[in-house]
Structures are given as structure tokens and as C-alpha cells.
Amino acid sequence: MTIRSGAVTRFPVAFPCPLVLAWCGFAALMLVEQGLQLDFRLADALYQGQGGEWALQDDVMLQEWLHRGGRNLSQWMGAGVVLALLASLPPTPLRPWRRPLLFLFLAVAGSTLAVSTLKQLVSMECPWDLARYGGEWPFVGLLAWRPDGMPDTACFPAGHASAGYAWLALYYFLAASLPRWRWLGLATGLGLGLVFGITQQLRGAHFLSHDLWTLMLCWTISTLLASWLLPHRRQPTHRSTAQTEILETLHDA
């Protein structure tokens, strides 16, 4: 005899401890990245590989197809989510999808808005702005004091990558609606973010760390919203007859 038990709970994203641990791990990763100067090492290799200039900055494939085209793709995907959400409001076959679609809309919009807002609040140069790479300004770290006369810039975190990493929300959306497809959702978000991020790194628009910050912000926003909006059914637990008898004996005692 097998006893099955299950209950409906909020989405199991383990908040807040794992989120705190994840951010602690991310902070440690950023310290290591800064200590090893991985941003500069990668940017140096890309810059020298293009002949000591950002030769791909105006490349048609990178600029038109993957930059502008990628942004348009993300916007069209977002428009599709909005239309599906509106279609789920009245009593239609899409109504059971209303809450997951609401989550997806809020997660994607919230992620891109958060990155865009942070870009306006934090001044940091793109690689192509730096004297090291043919520009005119010195490098100033994220927490360093900016010299007087240095203009405000908006290159941190990576805005274009957010158009891809925002779709990490597809993992939670599909986990709550079509669980078998959740890993495809995760791969979609990671894949788009990587393609968009690498595109901008090749053009000299961002450092590696800019993309990592965007990835972390998008994942955090999706995780928080999933824990708030998405229900989840626990998997049934299975107990053997012997286990059941032991538990009943302990209970009677």
C-alpha cells in the first residue's frame, strides 16, 4: 500500500535565504573577477583581435541584426505576452493562464525597467569610451569617486543584455504551467542574454561584469515575483506500508 500526500503552496523559490546566499556568492565572484581583472583581459583580447580598434562597432550583423533586431525581437515577444494576457481576462480557454501570464509580463517589464533605471543612476564608461581602448576617459570603478569634469555616462549595467535575460522568467512561467518545458524556458532566457551580451562586448559597448550584473538582477526580480504570484503543487510523497505502520505506532504511543 502506498500513501500519497500533496499540498498547494507558493512557488518553491526558497526565499529569502538562498537569495541572500546567491547574492553573497555573486559578490564574492565579483571580487575575484575584479582581482583577476577579467573585464580588462577579455576586453583587451577583443580589442587587439580587431586590430587595436573596435572594428566591429558598426558591423551590420552585430549592430543591425543582433542589436536592433534583438531589441525588436524582445519587444515583439513582450507584445505577444500583453496580447495573451488581455485575452485571458474574459472567460476564455486562456483564463487559467492569466496569473502565469501576469507574472511573465511583470517579470520581463520589471527586469528591463530595473536595469534601465540603474543605468541612469550609475555613471560608468563603456570600453569604447576609455583611453585604454582609443577613447578619451580614464577607467573609474563602480564605487570610486569620479573626477570633476568627467561626464555622466550610462553603460552599466548592460541594457541590451536585459532584453534577453529578462526572459529567464520563462523558466518560472513554464514551471507553473507546463513543467516539462521549463528548462527550454531557462535555455531561452540564457541564450538570448548571452547572444545579446556577447554582441555588445564585441562592439566595445560593455564589459563582462556589466552582463553578469544584468543577469543577476533579472534572475532576482523573476524569482521574487514568482514567489509572490505563482502557485505550485508539491510533488506527492510516497511511503511504504512499513513506513506507514511505524508512523502509526509512534502516533498511537
CB distance 163 to 71 below 8 Å: yes
Structurally, how many domains does the chain consist of? 1
| One pLDDT digit (tens) per residue for the chain, 253 residues | 333 333 344 444 445 678 889 999 999 999 999 999 999 999 999 999 999 999 999 999 999 999 999 999 999 999 999 999 999 999 989 999 999 999 999 999 999 999 999 999 999 999 999 999 999 999 999 888 998 889 989 999 999 999 999 999 999 999 999 999 999 999 999 999 999 999 999 999 999 999 999 999 999 999 999 999 997 555 444 444 444 443 344 344 4
Phi-psi region of 204 (alpha: psi -120 to 50; beta: other; left: phi over 0): left
- For the chain, what is the radius of gyration of the CA atoms? 23
Q: How far apart are CA 135 and CA 154, in angstroms?
A: 15
Instruction: Say if 167 falls within a structural domain.
Output: yes
Angle, vertex CA 13, rays to CA 80 and CA 100, nearest 5: 25
Percent of residues in the chain assigned helix, strand, coil, to nearest 5: 70, 5, 25
pLDDT at 16 (0 to 100) = 64
Question: How would you classify the pairing of strands 237-239 and 3-5?
Answer: antiparallel
Q: How far apart are CA 47 and CA 136, in angstroms?
A: 16
Instruction: Say if 245 falls within a structural domain.
Output: no
- What CATH number is associated with residue 181? 1.20.144
Instruction: Say if 5 falls within a structural domain.
Output: no
List the domain range (segments joined by +) for residue 52.
14-140+151-230
Instruction: Say if 253 falls within a structural domain.
Output: no
pLDDT tens for each residue of 200-224: 999 999 999 999 999 999 999 999 9
Phi, psi of 148 (to 5 degrees): -60, 140
Tell me which amino acid residue 68 is: R
pLDDT at 250 (0 to 100) = 38
CB distance 225 to 100 below 8 Å: no
Instruction: Say if 240 falls within a structural domain.
Output: no
Please provide the average confidence, as pLDDT, over all residues in the chain: 88
Instruction: Say if 4 falls within a structural domain.
Output: no
Q: How far apart are CA 40 and CA 36, in angstroms?
A: 9
Instruction: Say if 239 falls within a structural domain.
Output: no
Q: How far apart are CA 245 and CA 247, in angstroms?
A: 5
pLDDT at 232 (0 to 100) = 59
